[in-house]
């Protein structure tokens, strides 16, 4: 089978021929149809992510496909079931083995491409806004990096939860996409003063920040008293240092938030969230935005869309199977 693998951290990942894996205890063999790409994959390829699989390894954090075989002790889903899985790695291949407990059946209405674009982005936003930040109807949500994969889902979910949403993104084209996703107010991070625009519409009660850097600092200054700031990531490459006196004066709450970390200590939070989200999708309330779907042989080009920030929403790689 073919797989897009990291051979060494100082080398560009490559498409290789390798053996089809055999499922171990509690695992399933998945025939992979599609894999969603994430910014974390870029860090993982350099050995800079929170998790470091042993080399060589196959990239790809979230997959969708069909169960083909159950390993010893695996209780399902049954062979032939269409599922999505947040596997951590292993998704950019034609086949992969994953823990059976992580596989969730997908609705008949959901395509493999949508399923591969769904779990990390929507899961990150839903658990972050609902379970961590406790976003309430009528509050104002500021989304940084709003045209990216997780940013667009934060807009959608924020609106479903009854918030007023301010979307911050770079350039008119990306902001138009944010508007189509439901944003009430728009901030151009290239030309606008984030603090001034946000304060002008009443300030932020919750900030969703996958960017960091100067945008984090501006957003914090635009917060209302008792606001909650979700630290989701640092796509800017700049990890901000937080002045504790500002937290004191405004009674601010800054929350570190790593969605994948819940697999280790509260996996049921993720499963409950995903069941809610899949129900919303089946009801037509969520519409994944996939800006590009490329075949496996163009996986390098797909990652370049992320690296160069030319994509909006999600980038998906398809195998031609399923």
In a domain, 243, yes or no: yes
Does 106 lie in the same domain as 12? yes
Query: 143 in a domain, yes or no?
Result: yes
Shared domain for 229 and 314, answered yes or no, is no
Distances, alpha carbon 189 to alpha carbons 17, 174, 260, 281, in Å:
43, 11, 28, 30
* Cα–Cα distance measured from residue 317 to residue 308, given in angstroms and rounded to the nearest whole number: 17
Rg of the chain in Å (alpha carbons)? 20
Q: How far apart are the first and last CA of the chain?
A: 15
pLDDT single digits (tens) 76-109: 899 999 999 986 899 999 999 999 988 999 999 9
Q: What is the value of pTM for the model shown?
A: 0.86
- pLDDT for res 87: 67
Token couple for 33: 């149809």
Same domain, 208 and 246: yes
- Cβ neighbours of residue 185 under 8 Å, at least 6 residues apart? 164, 165, 166, 167, 197, 201
In this prediction, residue 283 carries a pLDDT of 94
* pLDDT at position 235: 84
129 in the same domain as 104: no
In the predicted structure, residue 307 carries a pLDDT above the cut 90: no
Residues 58, 160, single domain; the answer is no
For residues 52 and 157, membership in a common domain is answered with no
User: How confident is the model at residue 313, as a pLDDT?
Assistant: 77
pLDDT above 90 for 216:
yes
Query: Among 135, 152, 194, 149, which Cα is nearest to 311's?
Result: 149
Q: Where are the alpha helices (DSSP H) in the chain?
A: 39-45, 112-116, 119-126, 149-160, 172-181, 194-200, 213-221, 244-250, 262-265, 267-282, 299-307
Q: Report whether pLDDT(222) > 80.
A: yes
Does 292 lie in the same domain as 243?
Answer: no
> Does residue 278 form part of some domain?
no
Instruction: Tell me the C-alpha distance between 117 and 5, whole Å.
Output: 20
Rounded to an integer, the average pLDDT of 222-249 is: 92
Contacts of residue 241, Cβ cutoff 8 Å, sequence gap at least 6:
none
Q: Is residue 233 situated within a structural domain?
A: yes
- 57 contacts 33 by C-beta, under 8 angstroms: no
**Among candidate residues 259, 278, 307, the one where a domain is terminated:** 259
Q: Check pLDDT > 70 for residue 253.
A: yes
pLDDT band at 311 (very low <50, low <70, confident <90, very high): confident
Q: Is residue 282 part of a domain?
A: no
Same domain, 199 and 98: no
Give pLDDT, residue 76. 81
Tell me: do 113 and 128 sit in the same domain: no
For residue 300, the model assigns a pLDDT of: 94
Q: 9: which 2 tokens? A: 């951290």
Does 311 or 64 have the greater pLDDT score? 64
- Total domains in the chain come to 2
CB 78 within 8 A of CB 288: no
Identify the three-state secondary structure at position 308.
coil
* CATH number of the domain where residue 234 is located: 3.90.180.10
Asked, for residue 267, whether it belongs to a domain, the answer is no
- Considering the domain boundaries, does residue 275 fall inside one? no
Pair (135, 233) in one structural domain: yes
pLDDT (average), residues 291-320: 91
| Domain membership flag for residue 204 | yes
Domain hosting residue 133, numbered range: 121-259
Residue 311 sits at the vertex; the CA angle it makes with 109 and 42, to the nearest 5 degrees, is 100
Residues 186 and 246 in one domain: yes
Q: Is the per-residue pLDDT at 309 higher than 90?
A: no
The closest of 171, 166, 174 to 198, measured between CA atoms, is 166
pLDDT greater at residue 22 or residue 260: 22
Q: Buried b / exposed e across 244-255, counting CB within 10 Å, b at 16+?
A: eeeeeeeebbbe
Instruction: Identify whether residues 138 and 251 lie together within a single domain.
Output: yes
Of the residues 217, 241, 259, which one is the last residue of a structural domain?
A: 259
At 27-54, the pLDDT tens digits run 999 999 999 998 889 989 999 887 889 9
According to DSSP, the residues that pair with 315 across neighbouring strands are 292
């Amino acid at each position: 089978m073919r797989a897009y693998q990291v051979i060494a951290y100082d080398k560009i990942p490559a498409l290789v021929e390798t053996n089809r894996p055999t499922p171990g205890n509690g695992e399933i063999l998945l025939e992979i149809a599609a894999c969603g790409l994430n910014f974390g994959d870029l860090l993982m390829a350099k050995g800079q992510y929170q998790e470091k699989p042993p080399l060589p390894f196959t990239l790809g954090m979230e997959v969708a496909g069909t169960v083909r075989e159950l390993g010893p002790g695996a209780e399902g889903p049954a062979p032939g079931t269409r599922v999505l899985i947040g596997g951590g790695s292993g998704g950019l291949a034609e086949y992969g083995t994953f823990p059976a407990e992580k596989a969730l059946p997908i609705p008949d209405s959901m395509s493999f491409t949508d399923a591969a674009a769904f779990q990390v982005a929507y899961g990150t936003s839903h658990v972050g806004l609902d379970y961590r930040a406790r976003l309430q109807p009528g509050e104002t949500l500021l989304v940084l990096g709003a045209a990216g994969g997780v940013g667009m889902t934060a807009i959608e979910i924020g609106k479903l939860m009854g918030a007023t949403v301010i979307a911050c993104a770079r350039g008119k084209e990306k902001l138009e996409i944010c508007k189509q996703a439901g944003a009430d107010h728009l901030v151009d991070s290239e030309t606008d003063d984030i603090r001034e625009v946000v304060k002008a519409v009443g300030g932020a009660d919750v900030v969703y920040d996958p960017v960091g850097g100067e945008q984090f600092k501006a957003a914090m200054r635009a917060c209302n008293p008792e606001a909650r700031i979700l630290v989701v990531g640092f796509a800017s490459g700049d990890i901000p240092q937080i002045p504790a006196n500002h937290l004191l004066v405004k009674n601010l709450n800054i929350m570190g938030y790593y969605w994948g970390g819940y697999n280790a200590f509260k996996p049921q939070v993720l499963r409950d969230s995903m069941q809610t989200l899949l129900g919303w999708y089946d009801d037509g309330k969520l519409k994944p935005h996939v800006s590009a779907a490329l075949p496996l042989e163009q996986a390098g080009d797909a990652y370049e869309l992320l690296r160069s920030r030319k994509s909006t929403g999600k980038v998906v790689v398809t195998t031609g199977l399923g």
